[in-house]
Structures are given as C-alpha cells and as structure tokens.
C-alpha cells in the first residue's frame, strides 16, 4: 500500500513540475483516498483463486489473507489488483489478460442512435426486417434518490461526531446506489445493442464542451456589471446531460462492441435532428419543438429523435462505405 501511495505522490509532483504555474499540489487527507492500486499481482498483494469457486482469498502485504466473495469467476490471468472503498463497503477490482473472445454471429442488422437528455432513441433498418423504432430511456429510479441526496450535505455539515459520520455514510450510500443504477442501465442497454446489431452508428458528441457554463458578458454601459448570460437555464441542462451519462454509455458500448466483433462509428451530429430524411431539407423551422419534426418543404412529420437516429445511421453507413478496404 505504501508503494502505491508513493507512486501516486510521485505522479502528482511530476505533473506539478511539468506545469509549475498551476500551483503546488495540495495535501490530501485519508478521506480523499478511496482506492489503492497494486500494479501487478505479487507486488504487495496476491490473488489466490480457484476456478468455479464463489469464495476466494486475496493476500495483502501487512494485512494478511482477506476473504472475497466473487460475483463471477475470473477469466484469464490477473494483471492488476485494486482495493476500492465505497462508504463502509470494500471491493476488489481486477484486470485480467485473456485471449480474444469469439465474435458473435452476424445478425444482418444496423442501428443508428440519437442521444438525448430525456431519451436515447435508436432506429434499426435491415434488409430482412421492416424499419422499427425503439426508445431507450435513462433509469427513472435514480431521480427520487437524487432529490434525497440534496438535503444530506447540509445535514452532514451541521452534524457532529458520530452523527457526522452517519450522515457521511448515508450520503455515500445514496450516491453509490444512483451510480450503480446508471451503470447497470448503461451495461444492459449497450449489451442489447451489441447482441442485436452488426453495425452501430452514434453521434460524436463533445460532452465536455456541451456541459460548460456560459461565459460572463460584461455590460459595456456599466463598469463591473454583467449582462444576462442564461447561466441558470444552462445549469439545468448541464445537470440533465450529466445524469444521462452519455460518456459512460458510449465507453461501455465501444468496449462491448470490440469484444463482440461489432463495428461502431461516431458521426458528426450537426443538423441531424432537423434535416428531413425524405427530401433533405435542413431548415431550422423543421423542428418547432424538442420532440416534434415537421418539414416545411415536403410536409414530412415524425419524432425528432427518430429523424436524428435515421440521419445518424445514414451518415454512419456512408462513413463505413467510404473506408478503404
């Protein structure tokens, strides 16, 4: 554990000397450390596992053997071991090296995904089946718990001694529950898409830029004053973007697709939700509301997410066909 902490400290100071103007590394107390990494099996730890055994042990230097309950058997050779703390629970995270898994059998289906903060609606087209639309919604069960989490930080700040620690544990428990729900939803959605489709196209979103706060606008007529920048409204949108978890979902999707031998392509998202799939008109007036699409040129009416998914799929197929053989 000491070696892992020293490696982290060395990394922090190396980054500091690389960018000296950014400020001296600040002290991190014991509560800042939730994970201890062991770069390889045998460097301060030893994973002792038997195949098809739900209970195994891991040995840590200076601690001894600790019993671990496995949720599934470890496939391959263990490379690194990490110990993670979530509230009062402890987890052992392993990375293992294994042979390339066998690709899934071809389905002949392709899909385009239009990501949104409310729904993520993929549209599938294939030669053997008619066009169909499937809605994929973010997990609703995380919203009430998110509301409960807002009040607990204030209670935690007012609490003292044992009450303070109980409030800290409760906040960690609630946030952990929300995080696991979102991860579970992302894994199941990505797995369903990978199993059902040979080719997946999605929007190449710049999530970090989309969730930035608007820059302040100085008032030219009054020194020291600022014009309204819509920061309050943008804050609500930023919260919706964060809750949707686009980045985590796309990372999981790419990993599962690579393991299954599927192809995933990211396409430019500009004008995908307001370009008519029937006539190609891209007028701004084609999308009068967030959900409605009504082409002013040909009169085509559809759901805006369906139109966006259709255009994303078409752009993805064009990119795939344009790749050199």
pLDDT-derived band at 208 (thresholds 50, 70, 90) equals confident
Question: pLDDT of 29-83, one tens digit each?
Answer: 767 778 888 877 667 788 876 555 556 788 887 888 888 888 778 888 888 888 8
Same domain? For 60 and 81 the reply is yes
Provide the domain count of the chain: 2
Helical segments of the chain, H only: 2-18, 142-158, 161-196, 207-210, 231-244, 246-260, 304-322
The whole-number pLDDT of residue 81 equals 87
Same domain, 165 and 300: yes
Residue 321, number of CB atoms within 10 A of its CB: 7
Between 105 and 27, name the one with better pLDDT.
Answer: 105
- Looking at residue 133, its pLDDT comes to 44
Position 262 scores a pLDDT of 93
Residues 62 and 187 in one domain: no
Q: List the domain range (segments joined by +) for residue 68.
A: 2-15+25-97
Residue 103 resides in a domain = no
| Per-residue pLDDT at 317 exceeds 50 | yes
Q: Is the pLDDT of residue 195 over 80?
A: yes
Q: What CATH number does residue 158 fall under? A: 3.30.420
Q: Which two tokens stand for residue 47?
A: 């994973």
pTM of the model: 0.77
Which phi-psi region, left, alpha or beta, contains residue 18 (left: φ > 0; alpha: ψ -120 to 50)?
alpha
What integer is the mean pLDDT of 97-107?
86
State which of 75, 97, 119 marks the end of a domain. 97
Q: How confident is the prediction for the chain on average, in pLDDT?
A: 78
CA distance 173 to 168: 9
H/E segment holding residue 125: strand 121-126
Do 84 and 144 fall into the same domain? no
Q: Do 88 and 147 belong to one domain?
A: no
pLDDT of 168 strictly over 80:
no
**Same structural domain for residues 58 and 141?**
no
Is 166 part of any domain? Answer: yes
Long-range contacts of 80-83 (CB under 8 A, 24+ apart): 80/37, 80/38, 80/39, 80/40, 80/41, 81/37, 81/38, 81/41, 81/45, 81/47, 82/35, 82/36, 82/37, 82/38, 83/35, 83/36, 83/38
> What per-residue confidence (pLDDT) applies to 134?
47
Tokens describing residue 179: 């995080």
Residue 239 is assigned to a structural domain of this protein: yes
pLDDT over 90 at 194, yes or no = yes
CA 59 to chain centre: 32
Is residue 179 located within the same domain as residue 117?
yes
pLDDT for 222-275, tens place per residue? 887 877 777 777 777 777 777 777 888 899 999 999 989 999 999 988 888 889
| Separation CA 109–CA 143 (nearest Å) | 34
- What is the per-residue pLDDT for 265? 92
Same domain, residue pair 116 and 252: yes
Q: Residue 60: inside a domain, yes or no?
A: yes
pLDDT at 254: 92
Q: How far apart are CA 173 and CA 138, in angstroms?
A: 21
Can you tell me the mean pLDDT for 133-152? 54
Q: Say if CB 254 and CB 265 are below 8 A apart.
A: no
**Which pLDDT score is estimated for 200?**
92
Q: Do 48 and 126 fall into the same domain? A: no
Kindly state whether residue 229 falls inside one of the protein's structural domains: no
Percent of the chain with pLDDT over 70: 78
Residue 81: inside a domain: yes
- The answer to whether residues 181 and 32 belong to one domain is no
In a domain, 303, yes or no: yes
Q: Are residues 88 and 117 in the same domain?
A: no
In a shared domain, residues 169 and 242: yes
Are 70 and 112 in contact by the 8 Å Cβ rule? The answer is no
Last residue of a domain, one of 65, 97, 129: 97
Highest mean pLDDT among 24-28, 38-42, 51-55, 103-107 belongs to 103-107
């Amino acid at each position: 554990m000491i070696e892992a902490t020293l490696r982290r400290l060395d990394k922090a100071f190396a980054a500091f000397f690389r960018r000296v103007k950014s400020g001296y590394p600040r002290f991190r107390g014991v509560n800042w450390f939730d994970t201890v990494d062991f770069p390889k099996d045998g460097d301060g730890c030893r994973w002792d596992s038997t195949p098809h055994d739900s209970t195994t042990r891991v040995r840590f230097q200076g601690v001894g053997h600790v019993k671990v309950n496995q949720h599934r058997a470890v496939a391959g050779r263990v490379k690194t071991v990490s110990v993670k703390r979530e509230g009062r629970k402890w987890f052992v995270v392993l990375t293992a090296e294994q042979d390339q898994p066998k690709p899934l059998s071809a389905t002949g289906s392709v899909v385009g995904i239009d990501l949104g903060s409310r729904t993520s609606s993929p549209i599938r087209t294939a030669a053997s089946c008619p066009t169909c639309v499937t809605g994929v919604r973010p997990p609703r069960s995380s919203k009430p718990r998110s509301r409960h989490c807002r009040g607990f930080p204030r209670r935690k700040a007012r609490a003292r001694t044992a009450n303070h620690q109980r409030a800290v544990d409760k906040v960690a428990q609630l946030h952990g529950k929300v995080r696991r729900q979102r991860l579970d939803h992302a894994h199941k959605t990505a797995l369903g898409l990978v199993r059902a489709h040979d080719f997946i196209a999605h929007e190449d979103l710049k999530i970090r830029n989309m969730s930035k706060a608007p820059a302040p606008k100085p008032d030219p007529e009054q020194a020291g004053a600022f014009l309204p920048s819509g920061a309050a409204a943008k804050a609500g949108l930023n919260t919706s973007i964060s809750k949707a978890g686009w980045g985590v979902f796309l990372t999981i999707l790419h990993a599962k697709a690579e393991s299954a031998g599927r192809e995933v392509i990211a396409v430019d998202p500009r004008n995908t939700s307001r370009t008519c799939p029937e006539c190609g008109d891209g007028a701004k007036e084609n999308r009068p509301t967030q959900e409605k699409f009504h082409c002013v040129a040909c009169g085509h009416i559809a759901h805006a997410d369906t139109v966006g998914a259709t255009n994303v799929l078409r752009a993805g197929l064009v990119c795939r066909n344009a790749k050199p053989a």
